[in-house]
Structure 1
Amino acid sequence: MKLSWKTIVLLCALLTTAGWSQQKLTLKDCIRIALKQNINIITSENLAEIADNNYLSSYSNILPSVSTSFDASRRTIGPRESIEFQPVGIDSAGNTIVQRVSVLQDKANLNSHSFSLSVSQNIFDGGGWWNRIRRGKASKNAAFHGMNAQINQTITTVAQNYLDLLKQEKILEVNQLAVQRSQDNLDKTQKMFEIGSVAKVDVYRARVNLGNDRISQISQRNAVHQARQRLNISLGKDPNEPLEIEKNVQFNFELPELATMLEQATADQPELMRQQMDVRTGELDVAISRSVFVPRVSGFFSYNRSNSEFEKIYNNFDRNWTTAVGVSVDFNLFNGFQDMVNYQNAKIDLKNKRLALEDYKRTLKSDVSTLYQRYRDLQEIVEINQQNLEAAREEYRLAEERYRLGSGTSLDLREAQVNLTDAERILVSAEYDQLIAYTQLQEALGSVQSALERL
């Protein structure tokens, strides 16, 4: 069978694509993908770019405004009749004699051409222009910190979903071991029944145990599927896209004292810095709304050229022109309390932002303390479960031996098997829950990016 070169190229491309799709991703790989494709990060980057543009536009309040215009028009007046009084003589008393005469005027065309240049400059507006520039900068910084907060949140979400997928896969392996143990017990019980060592009810009981373990395995397989979908979504991918991840992840780091971490959180947490910038923008909003209560002073200059003939606009520059230069003072005396309402609302908004900041500080301290304690507790729980697992293994071994010798019952064997499976499952959950608590704690500290870079 001969293949054309086009077919060979197509097959190579498909094999390459399949290879990449089956490539196992590390946690760092997943984070890199999310930073490029996650919708929330892209949105926060766009908002930061908008804030940067708004900061540039805030300088428009102090820079001069320059405009120019070019006008050309042709006005046509149709024929019309008008009444005029024309002198026709002088009477005997020397008075002029006038006569009412109807005059017909022909159609007339009037051309008009003009060019103008105007410049206006804000001189004083109660500090409004300066505060708008500072507000633009504060909003820009707030958007930047908000983008960093979103990046940290996305990295944490990806890490949680990655670790949760690993946990669900490990638990599935535990369930598979449970199914294998139940199958082995069924086979042994069947042989023991055939030689008369146990009753038929033990065989039925072993079959029920195997069925229950298989049901748990099927349910856990669905949990793995859902965990893989959540990870795909956090990566900005289709939820049903094939995804394989590396299974060896170790977070072997010692945490500093709680007081040290609380200081770090108040210094590095991007969401905290964003809310601090929000308070700063609120302060500047109050200053801006207060600036309208003072007169606004501006200067202006204009240059205009006009004539009915186009050529005379753009030559003989010493003729056909007018200029104006001056200073204007504007002061709003009353506009239906609108300025006062804006000022009062700005002060209320500032109070709310300060309250939100203080509330977030308290919540942040609580979160750091809670996550720190949870990490320590899970660390202790893992150590306890490791001991429990060793004990459960020995219990199961002894139960098997007693059942084989006829001194133990199938119920004792099943109880020991369930205890072993539970110990394995609890240990897996505790180990990965500890890793998840570590990533959540690092996000609360504002250092999740640097912490996961050390993996």
Structure 2
Amino acid sequence: MNIRLNCYMLGILLMMGGLPAVAQNTDTLRLSEAIQMGLEENYSVQIAANNKNIADNNYTLGNAGFLPTLDAVASKDYNIQDSEQIFASGDEQNVSGARSNSLSASALLEWTVFDGTRMFISYDKLAELQQASAIEAQINMENTVADISAAYYTVILEQARVNVLQNSVDLSRERLRLARTKYEVGNTSKLEYLAAQVDYNADTSALIQQKEQLYNTKVDLNTFLVREPDTDFAVPNQIDANMDLSIGELREKALSSNPNLLLARRNQHISYLEVRELEAERWPQILVNLGYSYNSSVAEAGFVLGRRANGVNYGVAARLNIFNGFNKNRQIQNARILTENQDLQLKELTQELKAQLEKTYINYTNSTILLELESENLEIARENARIALERYRLGNSNALELREAQINAVQAESRLIDAIYSTKIAEIDLLRLSGQMVSSR
């Protein structure tokens, strides 16, 4: 069952004989349009998407250490020297400014074929990091949708309050007109006329302040949508609230779909894989290598005036750390402690989620009860205000009676607006806690 609240104060319109509400001349912004705009333009959403792309790029066999490395090196060297050589035969060779140059090039392929299964563990960890990044992006999206939705309904709330106060000003203006007419014909005192003027001014002042509050909430929503702060827009005249949320279904969804809980579980498994990575480093590494080299040199002095060599080299190597100051044991112990911390954080988050869900649902339930109660109160206040206005017109009541009926009607409408708004905000929080904020849109 859905409850729809009309933001215009229909009861006041009736008692005023059909006075118009505040006109809307700008285009109406729908919630779906605001959410789409926010998800496309919001900076935090874009940053989260970029972080997810980084995690996607990191999830490769090469980054995990499965693939070989291939390096190529080439160099060309030149040398100018003065040389003086005396041979065993007694001959001498003196060369001034002797030039020489050498060219070398090599390529080396190195491949780790065994590292204690560390590469397999690293690949699994990269997969977990990729999934964790996707969940973080989901958390950001859900929070953005929740923030936009709350800001959107706050605009509707403040607009509804503007309409209530506008109608209250219209009623005060009508009362002021009647009081002035009665005063001019001598049917009432100047005191009553001045009291009507004071009440009209007070209502006008409240309306001005409320319009300022409405403007500020529109600025807040524009900020979420990455628009110019002064961009004007209209909103629908009602808030639709779902009255059928079930605590049992919400509990089940929260434990299985809450993105913060899902992220904590991923981080828990990542910590476990990091321990296994460190333990794998205790095993020896076995590497195979294959290389090719080419060298040539030319000289103007010396025994060898020219030389060239090229060939292939290959081999197998094993590497094992014997002792590193017990640092490996320390690292593994710390990693296990961090894993234990992740377990504790997961339990703590689960407990906090359950508590927050229960408190939010109680708020939601109470808001629905208040909504029904305030709806009934509003009907009574409407009828009382209509009767009070007619009695004042006929001279059968005084200004205090009309003012009290007016205030009661305004307060009843305001409480009803607040109740439907509180119900909707609680609904948004429940959907966010149960991981349904995006899927429900």
Residue of 377, 384, 399 corresponding to 2:373: 384
User: What's the CA shift string for 1:291-327, capped at 9, x where partnerless?
Assistant: 2223222222222122227xxxxxxxxx932333222
Determine if contact 1:58/1:132 at 8 Å carries over to the other structure.
no
Asked whether the equivalents of residues 64 and 120 of structure 2 are also in contact (C-alpha less than 8 Å), the reply is no
Q: What is the CA deviation profile of residues 30-76 of structure 1, one whole-angstrom value per residue up to 9, with x for unaligned ones? A: 11111110111101000000111111265451111112222222233
Query: Partner residue of 2:72?
Result: 68
Q: Secondary structure at the match of 2:160?
A: helix
Query: In the alignment, what sits opposite 1:356?
Result: 345
CA–CA separation in structure 2 for the residues paired with 1:237 and 1:249: 24
In structure 2, stretches of 5+ residues that fail to align are: 1-24, 299-307
The structure with the larger Rg is: 1
User: Mean Cα displacement is larger for which, 24-33 or 331-340?
Assistant: 331-340
Secondary structure, in 3 states, of the residue corresponding to 2:188?
A: coil
**Shift of residue 337, structure 1, vs aligned partner:** 4.3
Deviation at 1:165, TM superposition (A): 0.4
SS at match of 1:224: helix
Aligned equivalents of 1:305 and 1:322: distance in 2? 7
- Give 1:141 shift: 0.1
Q: Is the 8 A contact 1:58 1:136 kept in 2?
A: no
Q: Give the conservation status (yes or no) of the 8 Å contact 2:28–2:234.
A: yes
1:190 corresponds, among 180, 186, 194, to 180
CA–CA distance in structure 2, aligned partners of residues 30 and 37 of structure 1: 10
- In the alignment, the residues of structure 1 paired with residue 72 and residue 32 of structure 2 have an alpha-carbon distance, to the nearest angstrom, of 56
Map of 1:38 onto structure 2: 42
Deviation at 1:140, TM superposition (A): 0.2
Distance in 2 separating the partners of 1:57 and 1:124: 14
Deviations 1:142-176 (A, max 9, x none): 00011111111111111111111011101100000
Give yes or no for the alignment of 1:48 onto 2:38.
Answer: no
Q: Does 1:116 align with 2:106?
A: yes
Distance 1:215 1:57 in 2: 68
Residue identity opposite 2:83 in structure 1: R
- The equivalences for 1:69-218 within 5 A come to 69-76=73-80, 78-81=81-84, 86=89, 104-218=94-208
The alpha-carbon distance between structure 1 residues 247 and 450, as it changes in their structure 2 partners (threshold 3 A), is: farther
Secondary structure of residue in 2 paired with 1:25: coil
1:26 corresponds, among 5, 26, 30, to 30
Cα distance in 2 between the residues matched to 1:22 and 1:84:
102
Counterpart in the other structure of 1:428: 417
Runs of at least 5 residues in structure 1 that lack an aligned partner in the other structure: 1-20, 88-100, 310-318
- The CA RMSD over aligned residues, in Å, is 2.3
Q: Which of the numbers 280, 284, 295 marks the counterpart of 2:269?
A: 280
> 345-354 or 332-341, which moves further after superposition?
332-341
Q: Which amino acid aligns with 2:435?
A: G
Indicate if the aligned counterparts of 2:258 and 2:435 stay in contact, CA closer than 8 A: yes
8 A Cα contact 2:156 2:238, kept in partner = no
Q: Please tell me whether the aligned partners of residues 384 and 405 of structure 2 are also in contact (alpha carbons under 8 angstroms).
A: yes
Map 1:312-391 → 2, pairs under 5 A: 320-391=309-380
Give the number of equivalent residue pairs: 408
Q: Secondary structure at the match of 2:226?
A: coil
Q: CA deviation at 1:210?
A: 0.7
Amino acid at match of 1:298: L
Per the TM alignment, residue 218 of structure 1 is displaced from its structure 2 partner at its CA by: 0.6
Instruction: Give the structure-2-normalised TM-score.
Output: 0.86
TM-superposed CA distance for 1:83, in Å, is 5.9
Equivalent position SS for 1:24: coil
Change (3 A) 1:248 1:421: closer
Answer with 205-214 or 356-365: which moved more. 356-365
Amino acid of the residue matched to residue 59 of structure 2? Y
Matched-pair contact (CA < 8 Å) for 2:156–2:239: no
The alignment-based identity, stated in percent, is 26
Q: Which range moved further: 356-365 or 192-201?
A: 192-201
Relative to structure 1, the CA distance from residue 68 to residue 102 in structure 2 (aligned partners, 3 Å threshold; closer, same or farther) is closer
Which range is displaced more, 178-187 or 333-342? 333-342
SS in 2 for 1:448: coil
The one-letter amino acid of 1:221's match is: K
* One-letter amino acid matched to 1:247: N
Q: 1:229 aligns with which of 219, 227, 237?
A: 219
- Give 3-state SS (helix, strand or coil) of 1:325's partner: strand
Give the conservation status (yes or no) of the 8 Å contact 1:71–1:113.
yes
Pair 1:259-2:263 in alignment? no
> How far apart, CA to CA, are the structure 2 residues paired with 1:395 and 1:430?
21
Amino acid at match of 2:355: S
Letter in 2 for 1:334: F
- TM, length-normalised to structure 1: 0.84
Deviation (angstroms), 1:82: 5.1
Instruction: Return the alpha-carbon distance in structure 2 between the equivalents of residues 369 and 242 of structure 1.
Output: 38
